[in-house]
Structure 1
Amino acid sequence: MATGRVGRTVVGLFDAVFRPSRFVMASNAASRTSLRRGLSRLQSLLVVFLTNVVLYATPLTLSGYGVAVETQAPSWFVPIAQRTLGNPDTAWWLFAGIAQNSVFLIALSAVTLLTYHAALVVTRSSKGFLLTVHTVVYSVSAYLAGIFTVLVFLSQAAAYETARALVIDLQVRFISVFYDLFGIPESRRVFSVGETVPMVQLSSGETAVLALLVALVLYFVYSMYLGARLNHGAGVTSAVLSLLAVGLSPAIYVAILLVYSTGGITL
């Protein structure tokens, strides 16, 4: 059983790199299934997604990245942890840290799912929500998680300071577009655009890491395109429009965060 899982994992990694069309393509049965089987398939996809999210977030948590849990384990959690997990405070720190490190990936995945499927529905190309979930789960699990992993690596590696500064500069400039769009005054802006980072200062190692980052972005975009074409049978125009919708996902996510954080809306 374990050997079979390892084999499937190896094949999946191979397909993700060398055969993305096979990696992202759903089986023919997925589009012709009963409600019961559809729900079962949806449950399986959610398990795949959450498993990959945990595999992504756990190493970050164990390294101490992004963990801001200082409180002790809550009283309801203590007896459960003592029976099965050992030290309640350590277990709570681990679970809470994994949750914190997973939030951004899960939130962006949800926005991507909604915008992607909405575009397919609007262009009358959708063959079912389940096929959209399949595409997003596999694309996010492999490529988007890979993108975040590279970004985290850059944020932690002291030897890649120029590459880190370049990526941060691009992110700040992206966010600044929405600062200007919403008319947020300078005094309330968390980030401000600095001087342009000269790319000539990049070392060969930094260039390689940035090339990997670009490759992962292209893989992610291509896999979403393939999902529209292969799983939904969409035409080129509809597939491209679905990609444009996916491209809006980060913009929508940042806009919501800015409006909420600056008091534009009250929840």
Structure 2
Amino acid sequence: MAVRGIGAVVRGAFDAVIRPHRFVEFQTDSYATSRLGMVRQMGSLLGVYIINLVAYAIPLTLAGIGVQPTQQSPGWFRNLVSASGIDPTAGWQLLVAFVQNSLYITMATAITLVTFHVGVLIVRDSRDIVQSVHTVVYTTSAYLVAVFSGVWYLTNQAGVSGARVLVRNLQASFVYAIIDLLGADLELPGGRPEEIAANALSTEGQWILALLSVALLYYLFSLYLGARINHRATRSNALIAVAAVALSPAVYVTGSVLAYTLGFT
């Protein structure tokens, strides 16, 4: 009998941490070969993704992340909720924040799916798009969500300012490395990052950074396992698929710098 309800959640959490190969595993011996079967499986995976997305975005929104206190509701929304007794301004702010929080993880999921599947296509190990969708849905629903949650925590908590600055500096250094490599005459609004003293990191900040690092490693490793198990790729080909995902930020920043330099933006 299939494990349902709380049992399924507990088993999923256990597999995600202790047995990631089981967490990302797809039943490759019984996946659909017909078009209708594939549509059903894709629909099932989409349902899993939406449930996980809502479960991720609602707590963030209720915690105030992404909420703009000065944002006013439009007239049509005020008319829509006026009879329900909901404060239109607060309701609109929560709705916009929920959509924004959902879009961040959705965009990251889409980029991961495209780059991962392109990676397995390049090495000619792709068994089907369903296997890639399954891998990415479960990978982003657990590990990438953990990364995003950690970043949101750093952004909004006062006791981790040192870690927050460190993460921002790492991001800026990454962008500047590409700018310098391309020889572009560009400057970020905050200028070049300065070094952060080790004692500027609080114990809480160090823990968050450690958990972020672990979640990111789990994320990449689960993609590797997805390529190995679901697509039956070789070790080297699975690494290439993961590299395609890992290089996507560099490709994006490079494209943005070139577009700005060439006057396309």
Q: Would you say same fold, with TM above 0.5?
A: yes
Q: Which moved further from structure 2: 80-89 or 48-57?
A: 80-89
Shift of 1:239: 0.3
- 1:71 aligns to 2:72 (yes or no): yes
Q: Does structure 2 conserve the Cα–Cα contact (< 8 Å) formed by 1:31 and 1:127?
A: no
Unaligned runs of 5+ in 1: none
1:197 aligned partner: 196
TM-score by length of 1: 0.86
Q: Does structure 2 conserve the Cα–Cα contact (< 8 Å) formed by 1:131 and 1:232?
A: yes
1:244 aligned partner: 243
User: What are the superposed Cα offsets for residues 217-239 of structure 1, whole Å, 9 maximum, x if unpaired?
Assistant: 11111100000000000001100
CA distance in 1, matches of 2:257, 2:83: 43
Letter in 2 for 1:151: V
1:111 aligned partner: 111
CA distance in 2, matches of 1:131, 1:205: 38
RMSD: 2.6
2:5 aligned partner: 5
Q: Which moved further from structure 2: 3-12 or 18-27?
A: 3-12
2:15 aligned partner: 15
CA distance in 1, matches of 2:219, 2:85: 37
Shift of 1:206: 2.6
CA distance in 2, matches of 1:193, 1:36: 54
Matches within 5 A, 1:213-252: 213-252=212-251
CA distance in 2, matches of 1:38, 1:32: 5
CA distance in 1, matches of 2:96, 2:152: 18
> Percent identity at matched positions?
37
Shift of 1:258: 5.2
Matches within 5 A, 1:9-158: 9-28=9-28, 31-68=31-68, 70-73=71-74, 75=76, 77=77, 81=81, 86-158=86-158
Shift of 1:139: 0.5
Shift of 1:107: 1.4
Letter in 1 for 2:56: Y
Q: Which moved further from structure 2: 203-212 or 117-126?
A: 203-212
* Change in CA separation of 1:48 and 1:183 when aligned onto 2, cut-off 3 Å: farther
Count of aligned pairs between the two proteins = 262
User: What are the superposed Cα offsets for residues 189-216 of structure 1, whole Å, 9 maximum, x if unpaired?
Assistant: 3342221113354343332222111111
Q: Which moved further from structure 2: 99-108 or 238-247?
A: 99-108
Q: Which moved further from structure 2: 153-162 or 109-118?
A: 153-162
Q: Which moved further from structure 2: 236-245 or 78-87?
A: 78-87
CA distance in 1, matches of 2:228, 2:96: 39
TM-score by length of 2: 0.87
1:172 aligned partner: 172
Shift of 1:86: 4.2
CA distance in 1, matches of 2:47, 2:260: 32
* Change in CA separation of 1:190 and 1:106 when aligned onto 2, cut-off 3 Å: farther
Shift of 1:85: 8.5
Q: Does structure 2 conserve the Cα–Cα contact (< 8 Å) formed by 1:113 and 1:136?
A: yes
Unaligned runs of 5+ in 2: none
Q: Does structure 1 conserve the Cα–Cα contact (< 8 Å) formed by 2:123 and 2:237?
A: yes
Aligned to 2:93, the other structure's residue is in SS state helix
